Amino acid sequence: MTTENMTNDITVEKLSNDALIVSRDMPFLRTVTFGIGVNVGAANENSNNSGISHLIEHAVFKGTKNFAGHDLKRIIESVGGVLNAFTSREYTLFYAKVPDFASRQAFDVLYDLVSVPIFPEKEIELEKGVVLEEIAMYEDDPADLSGTNFLKALWGEETPYGRSIIGKVETVKNTTVDDVRKYFKDHYISSNILLSIVGNLRSCDMNYIREKMEALQNGELKEDIEKPIARPSTNVVIEKRDLKQVNVSIGIKTIEKSDKRSYPLSIITTILGGGMSSVLFEKLREKYGLVYSISSSNQSNRLGGYFTVDFSTSPSRVFDAIEKIRGVLNDMANSLDLKKHMDYGKKRLKGKLLTSTESTFSTMFMMVDDQFTLRKIRGIDRVIQSIEDVKYDDVVETYRDFFLGKWTLSAVGPSGTVLDKLKAYEFEVSGNGH
């Protein structure tokens, strides 16, 4: 076992089987948050088993070697705790937050989920039905559908970063219990697993936790995920007749999280769509009244990233809104415009990070995400300093590297001539103003 002490009371331990334990002691709290991350997600799948990582995230809750399915939840919820999980593009995370007196029970539940689920066939078939309902739910959500279609258009529908995380109806239906058990055995191995603990560590029996984590079986991972390659910009427009608004996602390829430009990119994202004081919110809602809400986001993974602007508005206003957004992005290419907003972008970004440290879940999640996307854990002081070190020229250069050119557009809205026009519309940022 090797141990590394970092700033902000963060400790990283690498066990003999290559499992990791990352912890942050917050002794003034009366709670503990556990997260067990597994470095497998939708990007590890192929066209035939799309959605299997997400199905396994559901299926482990159907029972383990030591706990019946209903007991897994009851043990946590009976003490006022929270138990949940999610699947992302690159990893799956199981987490629990409990009062400090229930720390051992919480760990035992999470440990069983990732080590000894039993996958009863009848229950797996039932859970496939639940996932199919989840797929239908998201397909009925125009904002989610627009975002999903954007990723398919940007990366390609049958690529690791373009496929839907929850899978397709046919692949979920065709997944067998044997498929589930083999995929779990291949990926839920010690070198792929990270335990993150945040809170009152004095309540945790760390020797017991280390012994259990050391008992996880290791194996050899064979696949190598390819770096995503963006497709030529295009428009994907879907008609849903019962809608009253058009939901739009406009975006571009950016960079992986390890790229040094991720810090100026975060500042740009904050300037454009972070909060009610952001440029896009001020212009499109406050000045022109074209939208109820509008936001921007940048998602940087281990191997790639993308930036989007997302909003919804009435069909009669959608082109006005899109042109106003294009105008903002063109103006922002003017270095003076960026300089004017630099202070807001930096201070808001640093402040949001600092306030997030009061949340044990946010702290736990940041450590898991860092390990799986950067292959290292950053202390909050290091992140703050990296933001502070960003120069004005870094922001200008990053903006011009990524934001100028043709963008991919995805829209979901009611039938009509507006959608036909959107299919042929070309969204391009030239940097030449309106």
Q: pLDDT digit string (tens) for 75-111?
A: 999 999 999 999 999 999 999 999 999 999 999 999 9
End-to-end C-alpha distance for the chain, whole angstroms:
59
**Alpha carbon distance 60, 52 (integer Å):** 12
Percent of the chain with pLDDT over 90: 90
Q: How many degrees, rounded to 5, is the angle at CA 145 between CA 144 and CA 149? A: 120
Instruction: Show the tokens assigned to 305.
Output: 């990233």
Strand 193-199 and strand 20-25: pairing?
parallel
Contact 325, 285 (CB under 8 A): no
Percent of the chain with pLDDT over 70: 97
CATH class label, 235-429 = alpha beta
CATH class label, 2-214 = alpha beta
CA distance readout (Å), 91 to 177, 206, 274, 426? 21, 25, 26, 35
Mean pLDDT, the chain, rounded, equals 94
Q: How many degrees, rounded to 5, is the angle at CA 189 between CA 184 and CA 195? A: 110
**Alpha carbon distance 86, 95 (integer Å):** 9
Mean pLDDT of 321-333: 94
Mean pLDDT of 410-427: 93
3-class secondary-structure state, position 424: helix
Per the rule left: phi > 0, alpha: psi between -120 and 50, beta: everything else, 375 is left
Domain ranges of the chain: 2-214, 235-429
What pTM was estimated for this model as a whole?
Answer: 0.94
Same fold, 2-214 and 235-429: yes
Instruction: Show the tokens assigned to 168.
Output: 């397709």
